Each structure stands twice: as C-alpha cells, then as structure tokens.
Amino acid sequence: KRLPLVLGGVVAAVALVAGGFFLLAPGDEPAPQPTAKPTKTAKKLPAGVKCAGADCTGEDPEAMGCAGEQAVTSATATVGPTVVEIRYSKTCEAAWARITQAATGDEIAIDVGSKAQESAKVTTTFDAYTAMLAVENPADAKACATLAAGTTGCTTPTP
C-alpha cells in the first residue's frame, strides 16, 4: 500500500528537479534587446520656444516663440510701397516671410527650394507673415510678394 505513495513521491520529486533544471538551464535566457540610440541630441530650447528644425515647419512663428528677440531679418526687398522680409530664427532653425506696408489682397510667400513653400495673404491689416519652414541657412530661403495691383518682387539671397 505504501509503494504507490512512495513511487508517486519519487516521481513528483524527479519532476520538480527536472522542471527546475529546464527552467534555470543556462543558454535559455532571452537575448538582450538592443537599445535605440538617438540620431540627434535633443536641443534644449529657451523658455517660451516650443519647436526647433522640422518640428517648426508649418507652425506660426509668434505662437511657437520663434519671433521677436529670437529672430533677425536676413533679407529685405521693396516691392512698390511694400517691404518684403525673410525672418530667421537660429534658435528655431526656421525661416518665414513677412510683408509690411501692404494692402488688402497682397500676398507673401517663402520658398526654401524643393523642400517646402508657405504663403499668406494680407486681409484686414497692413502686414502678414507666413508659417515657418525649417532651414539651416537663411540664405537658402527666398520671399516673394505679389501685390493686389499686380506687381511682384522677391528678396535676393545675401552671401
């Protein structure tokens, strides 16, 4: 009567030892997963600045904190009575076009080659600006105005 109990205990003990061996056997550990390395170190932005580089494309320079003291005028042209400017923020690595002394219906556009283009139309004020485009060198940007009267003109890159 005891033999089945002893054999059952031995079988259970062997199963427990075998299970432990298979669970803890060397070489069965999962291979470590590779960790992704960042391709570019994240840029620490000044207070109030909300984007940099490609993240700024299509964004409003005022709303993203790239205008004001963060920006400089990198090129200017006069088209009729209007002034056309390329505004550039080194902090945001982006440029946009601005038109001032303009009339309702005048248009402004910025182009940075084959990368992208943005435009804006003067509505009720006397100025307008485009959304931003990411660009490392402001000399790669060109701003053009088309006045409601039909006159057109563009900035020329400065070396």
118 vs 90: which has the higher pLDDT: 90
Question: What is the H or E stretch that residue 90 is in?
Answer: none
Query: Which pTM does this prediction carry?
Result: 0.71
Average pLDDT over residues 128-154: 93
| Region 120-133 average pLDDT | 89
Give the residue from 120, 117, 89 showing the smallest Cα distance to 102.
Answer: 120
Q: Tell me: the pLDDT tens digits for 70-88?
A: 999 999 999 999 999 999 9
Among 11-15, 17-21, 130-134, 144-148, the minimum mean pLDDT is found in 17-21
Q: What is the mean pLDDT of residues 9-15?
A: 82
What proportions of the chain, in percent to the nearest 5, are helix, strand and coil? Answer: 20, 30, 50
